[in-house]
Structure 1
């Protein structure tokens, strides 16, 4: 029994380290120190985006938002998701079936807490956004499950820039 628990513990550590190593392969173009991030983010935003925390279900500002617009990274303002791809997943978090552009987000294996998931990060600054699952609607079958605290929403005013 002790050997089994020890092996499980070692396995979790190794998979977590492997997940962290994958993050270092991508070169983020917006890089700041923790102190710099703390100056521009609320404590809750910092905890979610820089420390990979998760807000409570049904607590975020955008999970019931039905306005048209663009969801951007709260840290670097990179456009990530369009409201046209948002859907009610019944999870209590804002959910989308497609990113604005495939290069807007970075997918990373997340084997923390003994689960196999795919974490999504902002490709510009590395902010933790949430996770992607393969139980979404057509046409992609994906569910990008995000933290409202990781997002800024820019409402579509209907005005076109000239």
Structure 2
């Protein structure tokens, strides 16, 4: 399993994978004392070939030059988790849906807690867009990377346009 660390506007990200695909993309926890120093030391100087395309596409995403990903994924999880993660991939760039909407789409409104749990265990940060799932009331609920990151990602994908008085 190859591992690399790379810098993003939201902190240092870790990517893991092999010839079967990318299995983990995660973000370092900035709440950790000394995180900045640790992150600076972690940035990989050389990137294993199996991870290069994933990092390149994520960098383009952060630069606003990409809104989808087409590198091979290979996450580990239960069948139910994989079913939820597959449904997450269908949420369009710049759009959101609620946990209830996702549960309905998967065919069981009573599974809302299980869907939320699977969403929270998503191992592929950004690529499987769990940040696009919000509360039924439109609130930014639950995000493993911190709600400030979720807000940043949603604003990055759907920036509000300021209206001009002089159009």
Please tell me the TM-score bracket, short chain as reference: under 0.3
- As a proportion of its length, which structure holds more strand? 1
Q: Which has the higher contact order (CA 8 A, sep 6+)?
A: 1
Tell me the TM-score normalised to structure 2 length.
0.26
